[in-house]
Structures are given as C-alpha cells and as structure tokens.
Amino acid sequence: MSLIQRPLDHQAVQSADEQIYDAHEDDPRPNALFDADGNRQALSDTDPTQEGLRQEWREYYLAAVDAKKAGAADDDDDQSSPPAENADPPAPSPTPGSAGGDPGDAVAPCEEMHWITIEVKPLQNPEKRPDFWPAIPPDDAYAFEFFEAELTIGHAEDYLDQDASTKYPRIPAGTCQIKFSHAFKTLQDYFDSRVRGGEI
C-alpha cells in the first residue's frame, strides 16, 4: 500500500473519518469508536488493539486522495479550447525599476519568511516519579497525533507524521499557537481518575 504523504489532505481526512464511523456504527457498544451512549470517540494513535482500525482508516484516506486526484485529472481533460495561434499574448506587467514601472517604487520589498517545526516527544529523564505516574512511553508515542494550529498563514488541522513531527515552511513572522486537544484530554482523564478519583 502507498505511504501517506504529508501534509495530509484535510478533505480526505474528513472523508476517512466519516467512512470509518459509518462502517462501525452498528458494532456492539461501547467500543473503540463509540461510547455506550453512541457518542463518537477519537481513534487511538498508540493502542495496539486498534491497529486494525488505524489501517482501515488509512485505506479510506488513500482512497479519498486517489478519488480527488482522479477528479482533478478529469477536469484537466475537459479544458476549453486553446486560444488561436495568432492571438496576441497579454502585455507583461512592468517590473519595479523598469521604464514602465512606478519610479516611486524602484525597489520592491521582499518579505522575510520563516519555517516552524512541530515535534512532540515524551520527556525522557531518569528522575523518580510517583507510583501513580504512567510509564514513560516510547519516542514515537505521539505518531499521527491530531492537532490544531493557528499559524500566520491561517488555521490548520492536521496529523503528525510517523516520527511525531511536521513542518510548515515559508510562513510570515508572527505568533503561532498549536493545540493537541486529544492528547491533553487523555492525560487529564488519566490524572482525574487516578489522583482526583481517590485512588492515590
């Protein structure tokens, strides 16, 4: 099977999500995708018992990407007739500093671009932890973790790659925010049940 390419296609992600929930809507509950009341639950990125579901999701995703590419190819085949050979090409826009350009704007400013890398790794250190602290997960524990980001190029929703990282190149300077809502909720639920729940 083809490997999933990054960055992920947001429409294909939504399509794969809908297909996997529809495919297992009638499964006995509670299960990995639905709680006892029928509410959807996020597919685990690390639970080995859910690997079959993750593979099923990948197949839905790749099929959606292929279908989108096929549709784009059909659109390319249905182009309008090309312009006549004798048609005059459009006049090029004057460049700054040229004879036809604006003499008051002889030098065009060049915006400085940056890149940002998002990488999530468990903190590996030898310090002793309380008994209720979960075991330190492996470095790739957050592979394919879902995140939301507010970047200087706009809102983004995506998944980390198999190395639990992703990169956004050529973005303007500014403030960016990244949120891993599913990962933080998993941690919050764990500590709520173990610490606040009275087990510790």
The residues spanned by each domain of the chain are: 1-73, 113-200
Please list, residue by residue across 162-175, b when 16 or more beta carbons sit within 10 angstroms of its beta carbon and e when fewer do.
eebbbebeeeeeee
Tell me the HSE value of 180 on the side-chain side, using a 13 A CA sphere: 19
Q: How far apart are CA 137 and CA 48, in angstroms?
A: 13
At 121 the pLDDT is: 79
- Please tell me the distance from the alpha carbon of residue 48 to that of residue 69, in angstroms, as a whole number: 32
pLDDT at 98: 46
Ranges in the chain, pLDDT < 50 = 1, 95-101, 103, 105
pTM above 0.75, yes or no: no
pLDDT of residue 60: 94
Residue 18 pLDDT? 94
The crossing angle, in degrees rounded to 10, of helices 10-23 and 51-77 is: 130
| pLDDT of amino acid 15 | 92
Which pLDDT value is given to residue 1? 47
Tokens 């949120």 belong to which residue? 179
